[in-house]
Amino acid sequence: MCASISGFSKLSKSKKIDWMVETYFSNAEETKNVLKQYWNTNDKLQQLHDEFIENTITNYYLPLGVAPNFLINGKFYTIPMAIEESSVVAAASKAAKFWLDRGGFKTKVISTTKIGQVHFMFHGAIDSLKNYFNHIKPKLIQDAHPITKNMEKRGGGIMDIELRDKTSDIPGYFQLHASFETLDAMGANFINSCLEQFAKTFKAEALTFDAFTSDEKDIQIVMSILSNYVPECLVRAEVSCKVEDLSEDQSISSEEFAAKFIQAVKIAEIEPYRAVTHNKGIMNGVDAVVLATGNDFRAIEACAHAYASRKGRYSSLSHAKVENGIFTFWIEMPLALGTVGGLTGLHPLVKLSLELLHHPTAKELMQIVAVAGLAQNFAALRSLTTTGIQQGHMKMHLMNILNQFDATNIEKDTLTAHFKVNTVTHSAVVEAIQQLRLKN
């Protein structure tokens, strides 16, 4: 039976590890060695990583790769991608090279509005609440000015505050629904600080509002928090070319490829079982760049999937068509990103990634990330509708299987050559490495 512990957070890093390995692991020294081999030898850098979160014991590494040859609005990019899944970086690179000779990617930011809400309970007359809101709205903005003044100097700040009646869903439930422009910052702390000030003013001023009855003065604030659903923080990315320029595969004509590709997208538009996997492929590209640039991939994921469900059924984030002999493939999705604040100025690899991308603004990063998602989706659909997904994916996965069996460099070279002309499956690789070792 594992024991509980009090005051764990106050222990030193080494003491935390001592308790953990002695409580949960059979070989304490081996476990400690595994943890310590991932520590950075630069003590200052290790301390920086230790202080990102609480109760740190080691670093968890992900590969940081790059996908070159992206032409976006006439400008070349090499895109950083932090991800553990085989074939993602290769697929993105292949899609970038394919579209490089066909005009590249075209993008535009549609809007950048972000949302926060004060959730509260009020059980008086709705007309009285509306009168109070109209009275207090200017003061809500005024009282938040110490928080917003620097953002306002740069052109951002509070865009609007609305009173929303949600009593049809929960009796007495209302919202202050606020919209914000946060420029190059993702803006979570800024938005939450504004919302908490709104709530403070909104509750306090109700006590002296003469038009309220005594019962109506008691407004109950439930919580004040930004929303990661930002359907008005939108970006579009697309590629297009003549249909006859589409196919590089002699086994399928350009016209047939376009037809199958569009049909595959239409299936994802109406079939949720397919749409989830389809959008997961998009997020392979999106999340990898979001993570590499120090942004919150969990918020991006949640928002993207909510947006995919906005019409009442989960659907594809990407779309395709042929009109007048022109094939067009595009994505339109919400992306709330930042290039200042958070990890962007702290994590050395995040700073490197942003420099690699020419120090983008938040709007530019939105466009780059959307392109990565579209490229990933194009590569996946191209494989699915021609050779099948496993041929390329399993060849990229081959090295992972070989590493599971501690293959030597000579064994890797031999088996890589073997599987250039043979189908890769886990069992086939196991059999091949066993036979190779028997010969030796």
Annotated catalytic residue: which of 106, 278, 393, 397? 393
How many domains, the chain? 4
Same structural domain, 104 and 218: no
The mean pLDDT of 26-55, rounded to a whole number, is: 94
- Identify the pLDDT of residue 133: 98
Same structural domain, 367 and 397: no
Q: 63: Cβ–Cβ under 8 A, 6 or more apart, which residues?
A: 82, 83, 84
Q: Is 135 a catalytic residue?
A: no
In a domain, 56, yes or no: no
Same structural domain, 87 and 147: no
The two structure tokens encoding residue 62? 């992900």
Full 3-state SS string of 172-210: CEEEEEEEEECCCECCHHHHHHHHHHHHHHHHHHHCCCC
Same structural domain, 353 and 259: yes
CA-closest candidate to residue 374, choices 241, 284, 296, 436? 284
In a domain, 180, yes or no: yes
pLDDT of 394 > 90? The answer is no
pLDDT tens column, 227-274: 999 999 999 999 999 999 997 766 789 999 999 999 999 999 999 999
Q: Is 296 a catalytic residue?
A: yes
Please, which contacts does 304-312 make with residues 24 or more away whose CB atoms are closer than 8 Å? 304/279, 304/333, 304/334, 305/279, 306/229, 307/229, 307/231, 307/333, 307/334, 308/275, 308/279, 310/231
Q: Which domain holds residue 405?
A: 393-439
Same structural domain, 156 and 121: yes
Same structural domain, 39 and 167: no
Q: Is 10 a catalytic residue?
A: no
Annotated catalytic residue: which of 16, 280, 305, 418? 280
Annotated catalytic residue: which of 13, 16, 50, 85? 85
pLDDT tens column, 141-176: 999 999 999 999 999 999 999 999 999 999 999 999
- Identify the pLDDT of residue 393: 53
Same structural domain, 131 and 103: no
Q: Is 347 a catalytic residue?
A: no
Same structural domain, 280 and 145: no
Annotated catalytic residue: which of 49, 296, 347, 364? 296
pLDDT tens column, 365-382: 999 999 999 999 999 999
pLDDT tens column, 301-330: 999 999 999 999 999 999 999 999 999 999
Rounded to whole angstroms, the Cα distance separating 293 from 77 reads 14
Q: Are 86 and 63 in contact (CB under 8 A)?
A: no
Full 3-state SS string of 276-299: HHHHHHHHHHHHHHHHHCCCCHHH
Same structural domain, 333 and 400: no
In a domain, 343, yes or no: yes
The amino acid that residue 371 corresponds to is V
